[in-house]
Amino acid sequence: MPPTPFSDLAELCATLEATTKQKEKTRLLAAFLRRLEPGEIAPAVLLIVGFIFPEFDPRTLEVGWRTMRRVLEGGRQTTLTEEPLTILRVHRTLEEIAEASGPGSRRLKEGLLEGLISRAGPREAEVLVRIIFGEMRIGVSEGVMMEGIAEAAGAAPSLVRRALMLTGDLGEVARTALTEGEEGLRRVGVRMFVPLKPMLAAMAYDIGEVIEVHGGRTAFEYKFDGARIQIHRRGDRVRVYSRRLSDVTESLPDIVDLVLRRISSDDVILEGEAVAIGEGGRPLPFQDLMRRFTRVHDVAEMAERIPLRLHLFDVLYLDRRLLIDEPYEERWRLLEAVSPGDLLAERIVTGDPAEAEVFLRRAIEAGHEGLMAKRLDSRYTPGLRGKRWFKIKPAETLDLVIVAADWGYGRRTGWLSNYHLAARDGDEFRVIGKTFKGLTDEEFEWMTRRLQGLKVRETPQTVYVRPEVVVEVAFNEIQRSPHYRSGFALRFARVTRIRRDKGPGDADTLDRVRELYEKQFRYKARMA
C-alpha cells in the first residue's frame, strides 16, 4: 500500500472536531487506524492526540510562536512536482526538529519547519500548528483514543488501558493492539527504566467516611510537601523519574547514592517522595525543592545547599516480579523487607477516626500537607484515580492553569502578576477567578518571564498565554458567577505554590469545581 497522506489525518481531525458524540469519535478513530500500515500506527495515534513523543520522552521541539508566525507569513510554495506530505514524513521531520542542537540548530529547525509548511495545504498547516503547540482541541483525549484503539483491534479496553499504564507509550500500545491483538497486549509487561504512570488519589474531607469506604480499617501515611518520584534500579544502574515521567536522575545524585547504599534489592522499582530539608530537619517550601529538580549545573553544590530526605511508600516491581496486582498490605510488607525503616513513610493502620485525626495533626505540625489513606487490599492502578486511595488536606485547594495575566501596578509594576485561573472543561479551559496573591518577588519575576514565552496575543493590559503553567490555589469559598463562562468564581483565591511538576492535563476539572461548590452546602443554607 502507498504511504498514508497527512491530508487524510488532517481531514479526520476536522471530522472529529465537528462531532460531539463520543461513540462516533470512537468509530471514526477505529476506522482510520485499521487503514494504516503497521509503521504508521504509532506516529498517527500520537499526532491525533497532539503528542509527538511518548510522555516519558524528554525531547521537545523548542519552536516558539514567533518562529511559527515567521514561517507562516513566508507563505506556502508548493509546486505540482512535490509529493504530498505523509504521516511518516511529518512525524520524522518533527523528530528531526526536536533533535537539532548545537550551533546553527535554530536555522535548521526553521528550515525543516518551512519545508513542512511549504508542502502543506491550508487544513494540513492548521493541524500541524495545533500539533506543534499541543492544542488539538478536537475532543480526542487519551481515554477516547484508547477506546478507538480497542475497537479497531477488537480488544478489551481494559487490556489497552493496562498496556498503556505499564509502558506510557500510547502509540506503541496502538501498534501492538492492531498487529498482535489481545495476546500481544497481554504480553506487555513492565519495562525497566520506562516509568509507569503513577496511581492517583481522590480528595476526601471526612476521615470517618474514608474509614467506612475502606471497610472499617485503612492505612494512613503522611502526605509530604515534596515531589513524588519513581526509582528504577537494576544492578548498579539507577534512574529517577518525576510524577510527569521525566528523567530527573542527574539532578538527584544524593537519591541515587542512597538507593545504591541502602536498598537491599538490585532489581526493583520503588515509589516515594523527595522532600527538601532545611534548618532543624523541617521541610522546605515546594519551590525550593523544585530548584533541585530543575538543576542541570552545579548539582553537587545545590545538593549541599538543599539536602533531600527520601520517604518510600510503595514497591511496584521486585526481583523480576511485577507487584501492581498485589494488595497494598503485601506491597508494604515487601517494601519493609528491602528498605530500612527510616526511609519508609510515616504510617499507621487504624479504624479509629480519633487516632487518625491525631495522626493528621502530627503530619501538619511536622510541616507536611496532610494524609494519604490507602485501602489495605487495594491494587496499584497506574494512571487511574478512584476510592482506593484518598488524600486528606485540612485546607481545600485546586490545581488550576494560568490562561492569561494582567500587568501589575504600584510595587508590582513591570510584572505579569494578576493571573487568570482556569479549570479544565473537556478540551477547553474555563476561568474561575483571578489573583495576584501568594507569590514572592522572585516568583513574580520568574512567572513574568515564563508567561511571556507562552504568549499567543496581548492587549495593553493583558497577555494571553498557552495553557501550560499550573498553580495550586487555595480559596475560602466557591461562588456562582455570572461574570465567568464557567459559572463559578473563587473567593479570596491565593496561589500557594507553582506546580512545576504538573502539566495542564493534571489540572482540576470544572466538574471538580462544581462538586466542591455543592459540598459547601453540607453546613450552609441555600438561598431560596
Rounded-to-integer distance, Cα 513 and Cα 64, Å = 32
Starting from the edge strand earliest in sequence, which strands make up the sheet with 237-242, in order?
A: 237-242, 227-234, 267-276, 308-318, 321-322
Residues pairing with 223 in the sheet: 370
Q: What is the dihedral of CA 32, 38, 43, 46, to 10 degrees?
A: 60
Helices then strands (H, E): number in the chain?
Answer: 18, 19
Residue 464 per-residue DSSP state = E
Any residues with CB less than 8 A from the CB of 182 and at least 6 apart, and which?
153, 154, 155, 156, 159
- Residue whose C-alpha is closest to residue 370's, from 205, 213, 233: 205
Any residues with CB less than 8 A from the CB of 172 and at least 6 apart, and which?
42, 54
Asked if 308 and 275 count as a contact pair (C-beta separation under 8 A), the reply is yes
Rounded-to-integer distance, Cα 179 and Cα 164, Å = 16
Rounded-to-integer distance, Cα 242 and Cα 247, Å = 7
Asked if 387 and 209 count as a contact pair (C-beta separation under 8 A), the reply is no
Task: Find cell 506503541 and name the residue.
Answer: 172
Rounded-to-integer distance, Cα 483 and Cα 503, Å = 27
Side-chain half-sphere of 496: how many Cα atoms within 13 Å? 15
The percent helix, strand, coil of the chain (3-state, each to 5) is 40, 25, 35
Is 369 exposed, middle or buried, given 0-12, 13-18 or 19+ CB atoms closer than 10 A?
Answer: buried
Rounded-to-integer distance, Cα 224 and Cα 16, Å = 42
Q: Which amino acid is at 1?
A: M
Furthest CA-CA distance within the chain: 77
Question: In which element (H, E) is residue 496 found?
Answer: strand 494-498
Asked if 316 and 324 count as a contact pair (C-beta separation under 8 A), the reply is yes
Rounded-to-integer distance, Cα 403 and Cα 468, Å = 8
Provide the annotated active-site residues: 223
Question: In which element (H, E) is residue 204 found?
Answer: strand 200-204
What SS3 class is residue 339?
coil
Q: How many angstroms separate the Cα of 172 from the Cα of each of 45, 74, 149?
A: 9, 36, 11
Rounded-to-integer distance, Cα 299 and Cα 296, Å = 6
Asked if 402 and 471 count as a contact pair (C-beta separation under 8 A), the reply is yes
What SS3 class is residue 109?
helix
